[in-house]
Amino acid sequence: MKLNIHNTFSEKLPADPNESNSRRQVFEAAFSYVNPTPTSKPEIVHVADEVADFLGFSEEDIKGKEFLELFSGAKVAANTRPYAMCYGGHQFGHWAGQLGDGRAINLMEIEHDRKRWALQLKGAGPTPYSRTADGLAVLRSSIREHLCSEAMHHLGVPTTRSLSLIKSGDKVARDMMYNGNVQYEDGAIVCRVAPSFIRFGNFQIFASREDNKTLSKLVDYTIESFFPDIKTGSPASIPSFFEAVAERTLKMIVEWQRVGFVHGVMNTDNLSILGLTIDYGPYGWLEGYDPDWTPNTTDNQNKRYRFGYQPRIALWNLIQLANALYPLSKEAKPFEAVLEKFQSNYKTEFLQMMGKKIGLEQITQQDATLIESLQIALQGTETDMTIFFRLLGDFKINTTIDSEGQFLEVVKSSFYKPEEVKEEVLESWITWFTRYQERLKSDKQSDEDRKTAMNQINPKYVLRNYMAQIAIEAAEKWDYSIVNELYELLKMPYSEQSSNSKWFAKRPEWARNKVGCSMLSCSS
C-alpha cells in the first residue's frame, strides 16, 4: 500500500512533551502523541470504495492485511506518529474545559491527486484526553457514523468522510439509555477522513488559558493550510479568518435545514473550523416536519439542539469562537459585523434554499410569507418532510384546487394520518396551494422543468433513523449486507432508483418510539 505521507499539523504545531498515555491536562500543546490500542480480532464490516479511491487505495489494497492492520490500529505505518488533539468546548451552553480527542487518534496526513487528507481512527483506544471514559466506540454508533458521513456527502452537505468500518472483536460496556442497564456490545473502529479535524474548541482551549502564543500558532497554521486567500501576519487576518469560518458554517447549516438533518450535539467541540459536519452521535433525520424535534434524549428537557434551533446555535457557537479569537486582534467591531452578517445572510440563504425546494425560479423577499405559511401547514398534521418535498415536484400548475382536497392526492402519501387532513388542516392546504399555484404561474416554467430542478434539491432517499437501525440489527448478527445496501442506495439520493423504492417510505409505526430510531443518547 502506497502512502504519500505529508504531515503538517504535527510538524508545525507544538507537541505535548509528555509521551505517556496517561489522562491529564495538557498545556501549551496542540496535541499529544499516542498509539492506537491493538484489538483482538479485527474484521472489516465495510469500506467506502469511493473514499478508498480518492485516497489512492486500490481494490487489492483494501483486501490486504496491511489495510486491516492500519485501520484497526493494530499497526502504525512507518514514518508516522499518531496523536490525539487537545481541545476544549462549551457543552450544552456551559464551558467544559479540556475535552480533546478522547477516542480519536490521528494516524497521518496523506497526499493524493494534489489533495491532502487527514486520517483519523475513532474508537481505537484511550488517549490522554479520555477523561473517565474508555476510548472505544460500539458497532451501532460506528455504523451510523460511517453510513451518514457518506450519505451526507452525496446529498451535497459538507462533511467529514468515512473510509472504513471495522469490528474490533472486543466487547464494550455501555449503558445505552443511562438507566443502569449496562450491556456488552461489539466494539468498532471507523477511519474518518477530512482535510482537517480542527474544531472551534481547538481555539477555545488556548484562549481559556490565556495562551495567546499557542493560539496564534494554531490560527496561522489553519489560515495558511485551509484559507490560503487570507494573508497571515497582521491582526486584520483574524476577523477575515472568522468571516470565512462563519460563511462555511452558514453554508453547512442551510444544507442541514434543506435535507432535514438534526445534528443533536452542536457543542463547540463538535463544530468543524472548515464548516464540515463532524461527530455523528445522536443525530437524526426529520420525518414528521417538526422544528422542535431532537433525536437526542440526553437533550430532551431543553431541546437546545432541536432542528429549528440549529441556525441560532451555530450563531451562538460562532460568538464563542469570536471570543476565543478576539485576544489576537483586540478589536470587537469587525467580529460584530461578521455576526450580524451571519444573521442577515442566513435569512437570505434560507429563503433561497426553501424557494428552490418548492420549485421557484426568481426568489425574492416577497416569497418569504409563502415559505412561512408552508412551514406552518406542514405541522398541521404529521407530514413526512422528505416525501412531501419530493412529491411536490409532481404538482401540476393547472390542477384544480377543490374544496374536497382532491388536489392533495399528489402529496398524500407524505401524511402519516391522512384522515386528519380535514377542517383547518385542509383549509390551510387549500390556502397554501392556491397561493403556490399563483406564484408558480409568474415563473412561467413548465411542470417538467420545475420537477427536474426540484428533484436535484429534494432528495428521494435519506438515512432515516429506522433504516440505520435495521442495518445495525443485521450487522449485530454478522449480516453486513444491509450496511452495504444502504451505502449503495445513498450514493445517489436524488435518483429515482425505482427498484429501491421500499426505502422511499414513511417511518414504520414500530420505529415511532423505538430506541435507536427516535430515541438516541450520547452513549456510543
Which residue ranges make up the site for ligand AMP (CB under 6 A)?
Answer: 99-103, 129-130, 133-136, 265, 269-270, 279, 281, 522
First to last CA, the chain: 31
Picked from ligand AMP, Mg ion, none, the partner binding residue 522 (CB below 5 to 8 A depending on kind) is ligand AMP
Query: Please, which residue, 21 or 270, has the CB nearer to Mg ion?
Result: 270
For residue 150, the minimal CB distance to Mg ion (Å) is 19
Shortest CA distance to 393 belongs to which of 367, 429, 359? 359
Q: Which of residues 96-155 bind Mg ion (CB under 5 A)?
A: none
User: Is residue 88 within 8 Å of 95, Cβ to Cβ?
Assistant: yes
507 neighbors 465 (Cβ within 8 angstroms): yes
As measured in angstroms, the least distance from the Cβ of 363 to ligand AMP is 36
Number of residues that bind Mg ion (CB under 5 A): 2
One-letter amino acid for residue 229 of the chain: D
Measured from the CB atom, the residue of 270 and 294 that comes closer to Mg ion is: 270
Least distance CB 302 / ligand AMP (angstroms): 16
Cell 487537545 locates to 86
Among ligand AMP, Mg ion, none, residue 405 binds (CB under 5-8 Å by kind): none
Q: 134 or 394, CB closer to ligand AMP?
A: 134
Residue nearest to ligand AMP (CB): 102
**Between 34 and 47, whose beta carbon lies closer to ligand AMP?**
34
Return the number of the residue (304 or 512) whose C-beta is nearest ligand AMP. Answer: 304
For residue 185, what is the DSSP state? E
- Binding partner of residue 282 among ligand AMP, Mg ion, none, CB under 5 to 8 Å per kind? none
Nearer to ligand AMP, 126 or 260 (CB): 126
> What's the min distance (Å) between Cβ of 270 and ligand AMP?
5
Q: Output the CA torsion 388→394→396→400 (10° steps).
A: -50
Among ligand AMP, Mg ion, none, partner that 135 touches (CB below 5 to 8 angstroms by kind): ligand AMP
Residues 6+ apart with CB under 8 A from 74: 36, 38, 39, 42, 68
**SS3 labels along 90-150:** EECCEEEEECCCCCEEEEEEEEECCEEEEEEEECECCCCCCCCCCCECEHHHHHHHHHHHH
| Distance of closest approach, residue 201 Cβ to ligand AMP, in angstroms | 8
**Is residue 382 a contact residue for Mg ion (CB under 5 A)?**
no
Per-residue 3-state assignment (H helix, E strand, C coil) for 433-469: HHHHHHHHHHHCCCHHHHHHHHHCCCCCCCCCHHHHH
Which residue pairs from 222-229 have beta carbons closer than 8 angstroms and sit at least 24 positions apart in sequence? 222/196, 222/198, 222/273, 225/8, 225/196, 226/195, 226/196, 226/273, 226/274
Q: Does 277 sit near Mg ion (CB under 5 A)?
A: no
* Residue of 101, 269, 299, 384 marked catalytic: 269
DSSP classification of residue 378: T
Asked if 272 touches Mg ion (CB under 5 A), the answer is: no
Q: Is residue 278 a contact partner of residue 160, using CB atoms and an 8 Å limit?
A: yes
Q: CB of 212: closest distance to Mg ion in angstroms?
A: 25
Q: Among 270, 272, 469, 521, which residue sits at the site for Mg ion (rule: CB under 5 A)?
A: 270
Partner in contact with 299, chosen from ligand AMP, Mg ion, none, beta carbon below 5 to 8 Å by kind: none
Which range in 116-124, 262-270, 391-399, 504-512 contacts Mg ion by CB under 5 A?
Answer: 262-270
Q: Calculate the dihedral angle through the C-alpha atoms of 159, 307, 298, 250, rounding to the nearest 10 degrees.
A: 40
Comparing CB distances to ligand AMP, the nearer of 109 and 269 is 269
269 labelled catalytic: yes
Name 99's Cβ contacts closer than 8 Å, sequence gap at least 6: 87, 88, 89, 91, 129, 131, 201, 269
Only segment of 75-83, 274-282, 432-440, 449-457 that touches Mg ion (CB under 5 A): 274-282
Q: Where do contacts with Mg ion occur on this chain (CB under 5 A)?
A: 270, 279
Residues annotated as catalytic are 269
